[in-house]
Amino acid sequence: MRLPLLLVDPPLDPSGDEARSALRRELLKPEYHDTDVLGRVLDWIDHALDQTVDRATSAPPLSTFAAIVAFLLLGLGLAWLLSRVRRTSRLAGARGPVVEDRTVTAAELRAAAERALAAGRHGDAVVEGFRALTVRQVERGWIDDRPGATAHEVALSLAAAHPDQERRVAAAAGLFDEVRYGDRPANGDQAAEVLALDDALAGVRR
């Protein structure tokens, strides 16, 4: 009579309780409680890269190539992420007033925006165009003259005065901040849309 074969899990070394205790002791170390997340990520990447290079010396050429490509892609992704984080931080901390010169008129700002658009300076056209529509709405009494108002604050006032244009106003205000304070490039269509919004808010038909 043949007895059934029983599969028994091998004993854990260390045991489950010992492993949990070791993990708790490890997590109590100060290096796990700092706020330098980016530094830890970079340290991890550096360590992983060192291990990959060590293993690559004995790995087949195809595996080595694949590992190099993977780390290049990881590096590019990290660089893109860092650029986004820095741009967002700069934008969040550097937002300023829409109109800095309180003596300039809407007509002057609009003319400057049109010259910039014609010259291919689309970022300048966006900035001057949004300033033009802001000053024009103040001149016509649709919104209050609030020195130092940010694009977000201007957008809230414009949306209250022109609820049917709320979406376009919010988009133009966000674009103004990104171009003026976030160093984001703009294209011709975006600049033209800001000028078209100025016309729409002013009731101009083209």
Q: Would you list the domain boundaries of the chain?
A: 33-94, 106-202
Q: Render each residue's pLDDT in the chain as its tens digit; 206 residues.
A: 555 555 444 554 555 566 666 656 665 665 555 555 556 666 776 666 666 656 656 656 656 666 666 667 766 766 655 555 455 445 444 578 888 887 899 999 999 999 999 999 999 999 999 999 999 999 999 999 888 899 999 999 999 999 999 999 999 999 999 999 988 999 999 999 999 999 999 886 55
Is the distance from CB of 117 to CB of 188 less than 8 angstroms?
yes
**pLDDT at residue 7, as a whole number:** 47
Which single residue is written with the structure tokens 């074969």?
A: 5
Burial of 179 (0-12, 13-18, 19+ CB in 10 A): buried
**pLDDT at residue 26, as a whole number:** 61
Q: Tell me, yes or no, if the pTM score tops 0.75.
A: no
Cis amide prior to 4 (ω within 30 degrees): no
